[in-house]
């Protein structure tokens, strides 16, 4: 295969075809297309292919190197697992949106220039919003609108950045960008929204938990990881990102502890894991970059697995609110087991995927001497075990028995969760094999006795802290609630300011009217008197009177002429 065929088109064309197919064919298509695309990706040689002229610009749709290949593998894996997961349901809107979204994510990964990247980011933004709307509730519609607005704004920032850079003479190349001008800053800001940088993060926690069981699983795989991919390509070694990432890793875990909606807890936890990746990109050494992209790969699988298990709970128990759940291990033992595998992976337990990827970033931070950053990341590591590793399985499946007795998840969901769980354990058990996929050669050894012992101590004592706080009653109970986050600014503050401005305008307009009314009335009255029937201006004049006035006028003219 020459590589001149853009692989993304396989999924995108499939997505466009889905709505006109029957139920059986749709299911087959969603399963087969990621496999077909994967075969194509394997056959494509490294290099830049599929170059086309568009509006006078040279675009390259297939830049194949180790970095883009790694992300394409995991994106296709996630698409395939999500297709299995959704086999029990029949929703052509969701299937079409999933294929379009996954296809555009693949297109963005293989984009060799910034314009192609932008175009695919925009298709991804719109198709992913459809995934939020596929829940078909009032809340999901509103959340989807907010999500779309934020995503399109991010896209506009990227486009503005591209335009400014082109004007600065940098061209459209999508290689290392670095912070070398206003264009680069605009692109970084746009990508920062996609990566959920602190204060730009809240679209994620707002929209993801409002999607369907499958929708959230699909959403969790692509947009944020595309952001990480683009940062790794364009902004590796940008020191600012180290501090941005550190803040990202630390602050969402406080929210995760008090959040009641367990899928929203996972969304906060996603923010925290993205923070680790951003730190890795910011450090920019080969070890750190390997760690960042490896962690993105692992995160797609274990976060997908955790979202899948919560999706199964949503389907069977009808809710994922911690305050309503508990004791579900009795009804859903398999889901419980898979959820625990996901929890162990995100917490970086020995022999699970998170350990061999996150520790590369930690080691790189320590190796470069970032003491404070390293300490905050260690705090975030303990915290992630606390809120994602323990809280999620504990409140959903154990805790006090809620009395809910439901069926185990359907076989399609169980198979998908089983596949994801097997990959999480496989990556953790065979790091050497996995490391071969990474962009740079790996010399790092994750399983040193020191590291194993350190990590186990950290995790066991985090668990003990949870147990002690639980048994002493200090741990905050799960309460029906929402917690204010930055979305408050555009869901409450801005509407309130707008409302106040509207009221202020109306008040000012009223005041001005009442002030102007008396003189205006007077003017109107005098005009009316002059023009009404019988008024001075509406009167018909006699011929004699008019002739007299003409004479006066001519006389006046004569006098002024002679004078």
* By the rule CB under 8 A, 455 interacts with another protein: yes
* By the rule CB under 8 A, 484 interacts with another protein: yes
HEC profile of 75-139: HHHHHHHHHHHCCCCCCHHHHHHHHHHHHHHHHHHHCCEHHHHHHHHHHHHHHHHHHHHCCCCHH
Restricted to residues 175-204, the positions that interact with another protein (CB under 8 A) are none
Tokens 């087959």, residue? 28
Instruction: Name the residue nearer to another protein (CB basis): 68 or 331.
Output: 331
Cα 377 to chain center, whole Å? 22
46 DSSP assignment: S
* By the rule CB under 8 A, 254 interacts with another protein: yes
Q: Integer distance in angstroms from the first to the last C-alpha of the chain?
A: 102
* By the rule CB under 8 A, 530 interacts with another protein: no
Tokens 């040689």, residue? 45
* By the rule CB under 8 A, 456 interacts with another protein: yes
Instruction: Name the residue nearer to another protein (CB basis): 254 or 505.
Output: 254
CA distance 362 to 454: 13
Instruction: Name the residue nearer to another protein (CB basis): 449 or 534.
Output: 449
Instruction: Name the residue nearer to another protein (CB basis): 254 or 507.
Output: 254
* By the rule CB under 8 A, 529 interacts with another protein: no
Partners of 95 in the beta sheet?
none
Instruction: Name the residue nearer to another protein (CB basis): 96 or 404.
Output: 404
Tokens 């999620």, residue? 392
Of 479, 508, 511, 554, the one binding another protein by CB under 8 A: 479
Q: How many CB atoms lie within 10 A of CB 385?
A: 27
Residue 388 CB, shortest distance to another protein, in Å, is 13
Residue 185 CB, shortest distance to another protein, in Å, is 31
| 339-361 CB burial, b ≥16 within 10 A, e <16 | bbbbbbbbbbbbbbbbbbbbbbb
Restricted to residues 297-316, the positions that interact with another protein (CB under 8 A) are none
Of 22, 56, 169, 449, the one binding another protein by CB under 8 A: 449
257 and 387 in contact (C-beta within 8 Å)?
yes
Of 35, 422, 445, 482, the one binding another protein by CB under 8 A: 482
* By the rule CB under 8 A, 496 interacts with another protein: no
* By the rule CB under 8 A, 137 interacts with another protein: no
Instruction: Count the residues in the chain.
Output: 563
CA distance 151 to 168: 26
Of 77, 253, 356, 438, the one binding another protein by CB under 8 A: 253
Strands 47-54 and 57-64: antiparallel
Of 481, 526, 529, 532, the one binding another protein by CB under 8 A: 481
Stretch that binds another protein, among 25-33, 361-369, 507-515, 538-546 (CB under 8 A): 361-369
> What does each C-alpha distance from 490 to 149, 239, 495 come to in angstroms?
11, 30, 7
User: Closest Cα to residue 340, out of 268, 297, 263, 394?
Assistant: 394
Residue 253 CB, shortest distance to another protein, in Å, is 6
CA distance 373 to 244: 10
Instruction: Name the residue nearer to another protein (CB basis): 301 or 380.
Output: 380
* By the rule CB under 8 A, 47 interacts with another protein: no
Of 454, 531, 552, 555, the one binding another protein by CB under 8 A: 454
Tokens 């976060």, residue? 303
Q: Residues 367-406 vs another protein: string with x where CB under 8 A?
A: x---x--x---xx--xx--x-----------x--x---xx
Instruction: Name the residue nearer to another protein (CB basis): 333 or 411.
Output: 333
Binders of another protein: how many residues, by CB under 8 A? Answer: 56
Of 17, 366, 425, 437, the one binding another protein by CB under 8 A: 366
223 and 129 in contact (C-beta within 8 Å)?
no
HEC profile of 438-478: CCCCCCCCCCCHHHHHHHHHHHHHHHHHHHHHHHCCCCCCC
Residue 10 CB, shortest distance to another protein, in Å, is 40
Q: How many CB atoms lie within 10 A of CB 43?
A: 11
The residues of the shown chain that bind another protein, judged by CB under 8 A, are 253-255, 257-258, 329-331, 363, 366-367, 371, 374, 378-379, 382-383, 386, 398, 401, 405-407, 448-450, 453-469, 471, 474-476, 479-485, 491-492
């Amino acid at each position: 295969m020459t590589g001149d065929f853009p692989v993304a088109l396989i999924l995108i064309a499939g997505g466009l075809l889905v709505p006109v197919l029957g139920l059986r064919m749709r299911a087959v298509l969603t399963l087969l297309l990621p496999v077909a695309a994967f075969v194509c990706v394997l056959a494509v040689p490294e290099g830049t292919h599929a170059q086309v002229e568009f509006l006078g610009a040279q675009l390259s749709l297939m830049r194949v190197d180790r970095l883009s290949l790694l992300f394409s593998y995991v994106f296709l894996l996630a698409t395939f697992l999500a297709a299995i997961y959704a086999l029990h349901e029949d929703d052509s809107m969701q299937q079409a949106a999933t294929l379009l979204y996954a296809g555009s994510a693949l297109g963005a990964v293989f984009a060799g220039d910034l314009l192609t990247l932008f175009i695919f980011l925009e298709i991804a933004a719109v198709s992913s919003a459809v995934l939020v709307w596929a829940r078909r509730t009032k809340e999901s519609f509103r959340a989807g609108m907010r999500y779309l607005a934020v995503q399109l704004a991010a896209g506009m920032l990227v486009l503005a950045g591209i335009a400014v850079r082109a004007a600065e003479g940098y061209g459209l190349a999508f290689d290392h960008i670095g912070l070398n001008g206003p264009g680069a800053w605009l692109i970084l800001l746009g990508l920062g929204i996609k990566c959920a940088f602190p204060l730009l993060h809240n679209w994620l926690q707002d929209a993801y938990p409002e999607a369907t069981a499958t929708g959230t699983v699909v959403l969790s795989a692509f947009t944020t990881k595309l952001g990480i991919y683009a940062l790794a390509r364009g902004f590796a070694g940008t020191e600012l990102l180290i501090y941005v990432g550190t803040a990202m890793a630390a602050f969402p875990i406080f929210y995760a502890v008090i959040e009641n909606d367990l899928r929203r807890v996972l969304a906060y936890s996603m923010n925290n894991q993205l923070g680790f990746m951003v730190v890795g990109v910011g450090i920019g050494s080969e070890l750190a970059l390997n760690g960042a992209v490896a962690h993105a790969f692992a995160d797609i699988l274990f976060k997908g697995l955790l979202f899948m298990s919560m999706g199964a709970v949503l389907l069977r128990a009808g809710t994922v609110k911690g305050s309503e759940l508990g004791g579900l291990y009795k009804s859903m033992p398999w889901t419980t087991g898979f959820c625990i595998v996901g929890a162990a992976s995100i917490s970086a337990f020995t022999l699970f995927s998170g350990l061999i990827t996150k520790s590369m970033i930690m080691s790189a931070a320590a190796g470069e001497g970032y003491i404070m950053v390293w300490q905050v990341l260690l705090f975030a590591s303990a915290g992630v075990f606390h809120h994602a590793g323990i809280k999620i399985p504990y409140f959903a499946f154990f805790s006090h028995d809620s009395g809910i007795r439901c069926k185990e998840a359907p076989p399609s969901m169980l198979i998908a969760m089983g596949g994801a769980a097997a990959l999480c354990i496989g990556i953790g058990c065979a790091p050497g094999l996995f490391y071969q996929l990474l962009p740079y050669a790996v010399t790092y050894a994750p399983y040193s006795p020191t590291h194993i012992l350190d990590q186990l101590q950290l995790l066991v004592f985090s668990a003990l802290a949870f147990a002690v706080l639980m048994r002493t009653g200090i741990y905050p109970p799960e309460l029906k609630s929402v917690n204010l986050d930055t979305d408050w600014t555009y869901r409450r503050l801005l509407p309130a300011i707008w409302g106040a401005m509207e009221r202020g305008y109306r008040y000012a307009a009223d005041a001005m009217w009442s002030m102007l009314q008396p003189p205006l009335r007077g003017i109107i009255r005098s005009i009316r008197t002059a023009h009404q029937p019988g008024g001075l201006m509406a009167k018909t004049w006699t011929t004699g009177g008019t002739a007299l006035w003409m004479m006066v006028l001519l006389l006046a003219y004569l006098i002024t002429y002679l004078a």
